[in-house]
Structure 1
Amino acid sequence: MNSIDACLEGIAKLNERILAEPEAERRRVIVERSVSVLVPDLGTVFDMRLTADGLSDITHRPQEAPAPRAQVHITVGSDDLVDLADGRLDPARALLTRRVRVDASMGDLLRMRKLL
């Protein structure tokens, strides 16, 4: 099990990967969305905004703390989150094996697939 700090570092790496894409491509693919990432083994939720300028307003809170429902909700274990960020876990395989669960509209799912 990884720590909250390791997960925050992983989120920062994912943000770097998003920002490495050409700006025109990011603006074409990304529609601003609120995102929550539930990490059950840490009892923590990371809340953030996804925009064409990357991930912003990243905060974390206890899982049981109330918050508005995000437009994209992701559930992932801390080890898998860090492995995804480090490129050791294939995003498609993680989704197919249910190591990562995404609750979002079909349009959001298709757009997110292009980011990963």
Structure 2
Amino acid sequence: MATVDECRQALHDLAARLEASAEARGRLDLDRTLACRVTDLQAAFHGRITGGLLTGITDGDDPKAKIALIAASDDLLALINGKLDVTRAIAGRQIVVKANPFDLLKLRKLL
């Protein structure tokens, strides 16, 4: 099981990767709040996806977030590090993404 700090760092790494990738920014034209809930650690983080960037990552949940990613800590790390395919993870219920269908299609480009 990963730690809260490792999950937080993984989200910050994802944000940095998006910032460095102009291609990803161009493909992701969303402006949505995001909540990431880590089930096995009873932890949550939230931020905002805007202009292809993940910004304002902070601890705590945002129950009103337009997009919610729910996963165990190890699955979250594997997903962000590219070791877990997002489509298979959703189909296998390793992760749950709550979003409208159009946002979900766009988010696949992010991960």
| TM-score for the superposition, normalised by structure 2 | 0.87
Q: CA RMSD in A?
A: 1.9
Aligned length: 111
Aligned residues of 2:30 and 2:52 also touching (Cα < 8 A): no
1:88-110, Cα deviation, whole Å (9 max, x unpaired): 21112111111110111111111
Corresponding residue for residue 37 of structure 2: 38
Secondary structure of the corresponding residue to residue 64 of structure 2? coil
Counterpart of 1:2? 2
If you compute each CA radius of gyration, which structure gives the higher value, 1 or 2?
A: 1
| TM-score, normalised via structure 1 length | 0.83
Contact 2:2 2:74 in 1 (8 A): yes
Which stretches of structure 1, 4 residues or longer, exceed 3 Å deviation after superposition?
Answer: none
Residue number in structure 2 paired with 1:114: 109
> Which residue matches 1:89?
84
Q: After the TM superposition, which residues 62-101 of structure 1 pair with which residues of structure 2 at under 5 Å, given as runs?
A: 67-101=62-96
What CA distance in whole angstroms lies between the structure 2 residues aligned with 1:98 and 1:17?
26
Q: More deviation in 8-17 or 77-86? A: 8-17
* SS, match of residue 89 in structure 1: coil
Is contact 2:33-2:65 (8 Å) kept? yes
Q: Which runs of 5+ in 2 are unaligned?
A: none
